[in-house]
Structure 1
Amino acid sequence: MNLLQRRALTGTSLLVIALLFIASVMLVGVLFRGVRLDLTANQLYTVSDGTRAVVNQLDEPVQLYFYFSEQAAADIPHLRTYAQRVRELLEEIAAGSGGKVRLEVIDPEPFSEAEDRATAAGLQGVPLGNGQGSLFFGLAGTNSTDGAMAIPFFQPDKEAFLEYDVAKLINGLSGKEKPVIGMLSTLEIGPGFDPAARRVTDGAVVYGELKNLFEVKQVEKTVTSIDEEIELLMLVHPKGLSTDTLYAIDQFVMRGGRLIVFVDPHAEMEQAGQGVDPTQAMFESKSSNLDTLFKAWGIKFDPEQVVLDAELGLPIQSRPDRGPSPHLAILGLGVEQLNQNDVVSAQLEAVNMSTAGHFVVLDGATANWEALAQSSANSTTVATDRVRFLPDPDQLFNEFVPSKERYVLAGRLSGQLNTAFPDRSGDGHLSETREPANVILFADTDLLTDRLWVQVQQFFSQKVMNAFANNGDFIINAADNMVGSADLISVRTRPSSARPFDTVEALKRAADDRFRSKERELQAQLSETERKLSELQDNRSDQSSTLLTEEQRQALERFQDEKLRIRKELRQVQHQLNDDIQKLGTQLKFLNILGVPLVLTVIALVFALLRLRQRKEVQP
């Protein structure tokens, strides 16, 4: 075979290999179409089972329009990164929907028809100024029956809710009617009439918010059956309920109804009825409980105990001649006390409660119990009577000894539940839940009152509400979550796609702790020196002279020298922090630029040596 033939054979071989490669790629694309492998740490691109179930239950296709202003966000890198995250999630949902979810990505340029359509769909544009138009970053959805919903703007700080919000929008476009909530309350939280002022009252703000989002129907406390149309039953301060009413609530839960309960050891908003002696009303209990149902479900609530918390107590001014001081029974819960893994309580920053009780799981309980809100470890309980007849809140500090226990103030009960009335029978009686139950319990009713979370003012005959806590969000989240399908309820918060530099942050925190310690040391020395200087001045025989004595001058010089030394140490701490971060960066660069290639090279050399050894062993 001459040189020309060998070249032709080589060229033909390369062509055949190329054709085989292209054919194999096309074959793999056909055979494995839709197959994806998510290798991210938190499975960010894996759609949850709940979202898949919501999509699979769609009877007709849903059209989604994702609006993002690419050019307007050119100089906002963190927003572009999050937009890519949103788009990839939407594309993943659409790709796995089998055509039930259709996605269209739109860049609404300024003063275009696309921008007008985005505004008409309910999206919120952020004005950029300087005549650049608005930035849009939201989602609009429609169905075949002219139904429309929208997410006005995707907020990066709510990334944990991203999949839940999208699944909720898709579920809302499935054609279901407005959810019906049944409200059984022995407290006046809805609109009413004030006989003293002779005027109609609007009720609590949270009640009005529920009315805006759901169809709320009042349920009498003497009811013996719950209407089938009610999807969620809310019990607020359930006291004095008959056995037949408790049985109706029990069977409502057994047949799959959702339930939210607000009980309280001391409901401060409870008012005495007409004709009741005010003195007598002071000594009547203002507690509520569902002991019969709670016991059957494996939960205990003690109406004779109130939770006190020295870490969470809000400052209250109880007397005009004294400044604000912490009230151990009025609690201000923060992020650390709220479950960040449940969509109901995640992303909330502040929830206020007053004279709240707590829940305990009984031995042998079979249902799942998940805390939504807890006290800090610096807490304990006290008898309810001590709070009811407390003239001075500062007295709660007397004999206060923390139990080191975190008390559950609100929680979610889910799973299989048994009836609290096993002796009853008859047509339609159920001894256990048909499907996994979902119940949310709050150990406080006062969190519903306006005074603990919102200020309402009149501005030109219009109500202006300024929320200073997230009580309303807590309740609305719970109701919104509970009226959703079981699949939607299962869609919980997801981890953020942002991957912080934990090691760098740890270095910064360690250096910051050292820095703060030095600052405190400097401040302490400054205070001590000022005290000594003051003593020296007081002990001088000549008080009228403004000149420093020799002793004062030497003391001041010593302090100045010490101050310079400590400032030098502070700079050294900061330099050390920068050095540590630079060393870490150098190590990472080495691993990325040289480390990985070196490892691959070593593996290749080992493989080549093994192949060479095998060839030598084969040769005679």
Structure 2
Amino acid sequence: MSNTSTRRTVTGTTLLILAVLFVALVVLSGTLLRGARLDLTSKGLYTLTDGTEAILRKLKEPVKLHFYYSDTAARDIPQLRTYATRVQELLEEIAAKSGGKVELTVIDPQPFSEEEDRATGFGLQAVPLGNGGDTLFFGLAGTNSTDGEATIPFFQPDKEAFLEYDIAKLISSLDEAERPVVGLMSGLPIGGSFDPQAGRPIPGWVIDGELRNLFQVKRVETTATTIPPEMQALVVVHPKNLSDDTLYAIDQFVLRGGRLLAFVDPNAEAEQPAQGMDPTQAMFEDKASDLPKLFAAWGVLYDPAKVVLDAQRALELQARADAPPVRHLAVLGLGKDDLNPDDVVSAQLATVNVSTAGYFDLADGATATLEPLAQSSGNASTVASERVRMLPDPESLFSDFTPTGERYALAARLSGKLKTAFPDRSGDGHLAESTDTANVILVADTDMLSDRLWVQVQQFFGQRVLNAFASNGDFAINAVDNLIGSTDLIAVRTRGVSTYAFDTVDDLKKAADARFRDKERELQAQLSETERKLTDLQQNRGDTGNGALLLNPEQQAELQRFQDEKLRIRKELRQVRRQLDEDIQTLGAKLKFINIAGMPIVLTVVALAWVFARARRRKEAVR
């Protein structure tokens, strides 16, 4: 046999052996590494958080999870099938990490079957598909050994960022004998109200429902003189003109170890005017809230007449339907750089939106410590709340805005030994100072809790669908969780999200907005000057005799000059916008090239280098 034939035989045999080894390796790895995963995502999106694993370790009794998914009905919905795979994989991971404490059953309920009846009995939502009569189940039911039940009626794909948290919350709720008791004292209609004119109830804020899902929330009147001892935490929202007796009740609650989350505001936009109040009078009403005696005793500085402005964090609002959006210096979108990464309440939250917020500081000689949880950028200043409340045009705030370079604490944690704000009082149970280290969280804005700043509410087949576009709700829930000592769910909630902020694009837009504003001011200044000149010139105007104005040549020339100048500046404005679009498109093209072509090019270069290196070795071997 020739050498060539021998080499071909050896090569064929080698390839066959490699193929067999490859198949064997695949089968062996599928058996030995079943369930094993390597998560290479930058934020560990496919790895259970420490909080979820802690909840699973602490389970005191078994939990059964019933995942109802109509796989047959969803055969023509690829997006939903992809998300269903993601949900099932996460549930399987949770069951695998639970040490046998979580039992998972996956059920495809067929029409008119017992499984469908059982899913309906759990309260899962059956979504009709088309006109064929098919229905789709895509929810989770959990049970424990004491007949406790908890459900996720329908997994919403747009809530994927909260998927692990929702499942962990369901498991945690089944393991708790009793939910913690939280008191809610509010001067705003958080829990809903009644519209006498329409004759129907007004739904409560979303945050009220979220709190009630996790805790036993009990209403505490703003006139209360005692705080029940069974309450582990007290949430106070917009404490406006509270009596000394009510303030004393809060004071003693905190000193004896109760946890306080207080939302005050220099301008609570959500405050509704009294029924029958004249709209003009309502505009002048003071909407500030404060805890003056408590803050003074605790060494907290807070001015209810000051609002924080921030040019770096200002959000765009549309003040009028016929006008383009403008940036409002008092409506702020706080990002990761503004949220304390070392505190479980604020760590890894994406965005927190606030509106006409105040700020906190620590007085000289204070015994407690004040740690910011959320703060403005350094490009910030303050303004009287009255000016913002009476503001006709948000852009006017830019006219005399001068940043101080200070970062203002919009929310903060107060901890340490606190003294009573009522040293002259006495009696059974009276405390002059805290028995232990006090823990209080202060927020200088109440509007952040309102739906408009963080969540969209829509109807989906008769159910309310919540789409959170900011982390305001997470911030509030995190704060209550932390105050009552539950940190496991916080660890789940504060994991990273799968979306990324386009910081470079945002910077380009802000730079262009600044150039636009300069040009607009230039145009407005020229307009005012021209109008002044026209007024002077028209003092000598002619008259046609029938009441119409007759512009003389000088006036006509002045008017024509202004119109030409106005056209020139508008052209420059269009050029600025065109340049901005070109910058963004160029950036987008670069990113597309890197994402689409970059990796194949790298792999091609590596492969060619390997081929050339192998060919060179063969040539050297032949020599």
The match for 1:138 is 139
Q: Is the 8 A contact 2:80 2:157 kept in 1?
A: yes
Cα deviation 1:471-500 (Å, max 9, x = unaligned): 9956875688567834323433334579x9
The match for 1:154 is 155
Change (3 A) 1:204 1:151: closer
Distance 2:262 2:62 in 1: 37
Determine whether 1:331 maps to 2:331. yes
Question: Match of 2:265, SS?
Answer: coil
Comparing 324-333 and 302-311, the one that deviates more: 324-333
- Residue 386 of structure 1 and its aligned partner are, at CA, apart by 3.2
The match for 1:585 is 600
Cα deviation 1:538-577 (Å, max 9, x = unaligned): xxxxxxxxxxxxxxxxxxxxxxxxxxxxx9xx99x96996
Q: Is the 8 A contact 2:380 2:407 kept in 1?
A: yes
Distance 2:117 2:260 in 1: 42
Distance 1:579 1:59 in 2: 50
Determine whether 1:263 maps to 2:264. yes
Letter in 1 for 2:328: L
The match for 1:554 is none
Cα deviation 1:487-541 (Å, max 9, x = unaligned): 323433334579x9x9xx99xx99xx9xxx9xxxxxxxxxxxxxxxxxxxxxxxx
Change (3 A) 1:60 1:194: closer
The match for 1:418 is 417
Question: Match of 1:491, SS?
Answer: helix
Q: Is the 8 A contact 1:45 1:88 kept in 2?
A: no
- Residue 101 of structure 1 and its aligned partner are, at CA, apart by 2.2
Once the two structures are aligned, what percentage of the paired residues are identical?
A: 48
Distance 1:176 1:586 in 2: 58
- Residue 227 of structure 1 and its aligned partner are, at CA, apart by 0.7
Pairing of 1:467-482 with structure 2 (within 5 A): 473=473, 477=477, 481=481
Q: Is the 8 A contact 1:34 1:95 kept in 2?
A: no
Change (3 A) 1:382 1:583: closer
Cα deviation 1:131-166 (Å, max 9, x = unaligned): 493444432101223221112333444333233212
- Residue 209 of structure 1 and its aligned partner are, at CA, apart by 4.3
- Residue 435 of structure 1 and its aligned partner are, at CA, apart by 8.3
- Residue 94 of structure 1 and its aligned partner are, at CA, apart by 2.9
Cα deviation 1:200-240 (Å, max 9, x = unaligned): 97586458747975655442445443112334422122244
Cα deviation 1:571-613 (Å, max 9, x = unaligned): 9x969965994353131356589879x99xx9xxxxxxxxxxx
- Residue 346 of structure 1 and its aligned partner are, at CA, apart by 7.8
Pairing of 1:526-565 with structure 2 (within 5 A): none
Q: Is the 8 A contact 2:453 2:470 kept in 1?
A: no
The match for 2:373 is 371
Change (3 A) 1:129 1:401: same
- Residue 419 of structure 1 and its aligned partner are, at CA, apart by 2.6
Change (3 A) 1:580 1:51: closer
Cα deviation 1:177-219 (Å, max 9, x = unaligned): 4654423234566677899x79897586458747975655442
Q: Is the 8 A contact 1:291 1:300 kept in 2?
A: no
The match for 2:317 is 314
Distance 2:121 2:257 in 1: 38
Change (3 A) 1:150 1:592: farther
Letter in 2 for 1:331: V
Pairing of 1:455-604 with structure 2 (within 5 A): 473=473, 477=477, 481=481, 485-495=486-496, 581-588=596-603
Comparing 161-170 and 214-223, the one that deviates more: 214-223
Pairing of 1:82-121 with structure 2 (within 5 A): 82-109=83-110, 112-121=113-122
Distance 1:575 1:326 in 2: 30
Unpaired runs of at least 5, structure 1: 1-24, 518-566, 603-620
Letter in 2 for 1:485: S
- Residue 332 of structure 1 and its aligned partner are, at CA, apart by 6.0
Comparing 386-395 and 474-483, the one that deviates more: 474-483
Q: Is the 8 A contact 1:314 1:332 kept in 2?
A: no
Letter in 1 for 2:119: A
Comparing 274-283 and 231-240, the one that deviates more: 274-283
Comparing 205-214 and 179-188, the one that deviates more: 205-214
- Residue 168 of structure 1 and its aligned partner are, at CA, apart by 0.8
Comparing 395-404 and 239-248, the one that deviates more: 239-248
- Residue 247 of structure 1 and its aligned partner are, at CA, apart by 4.7
Question: Match of 1:63, SS?
Answer: strand
Distance 1:331 1:470 in 2: 13
Letter in 1 for 2:165: Y
Distance 1:492 1:60 in 2: 23
Q: Is the 8 A contact 1:181 1:215 kept in 2?
A: yes
Change (3 A) 1:162 1:339: farther
Pairing of 1:336-485 with structure 2 (within 5 A): 351=353, 353=355, 355-360=356-361, 369=371, 371=373, 379-388=380-389, 395-403=396-404, 407-410=408-411, 413=413, 417-421=416-420, 427=429, 429=431, 437=439, 439-447=440-448, 473=473, 477=477, 481=481, 485=486
Comparing 37-46 and 138-147, the one that deviates more: 37-46
Alpha carbon RMSD of aligned pairs, Å? 5.9
TM-score by length of 1: 0.59
- Residue 399 of structure 1 and its aligned partner are, at CA, apart by 0.9
Aligned length: 494
Change (3 A) 1:78 1:335: farther
Question: Match of 2:115, SS?
Answer: helix
Distance 2:38 2:178 in 1: 36
TM-score by length of 2: 0.59
The match for 2:68 is 67
Distance 2:469 2:598 in 1: 43
Question: Match of 1:94, SS?
Answer: helix
Change (3 A) 1:58 1:384: same
The match for 1:607 is none
Letter in 2 for 1:182: G
Distance 1:203 1:155 in 2: 22
- Residue 377 of structure 1 and its aligned partner are, at CA, apart by 6.1
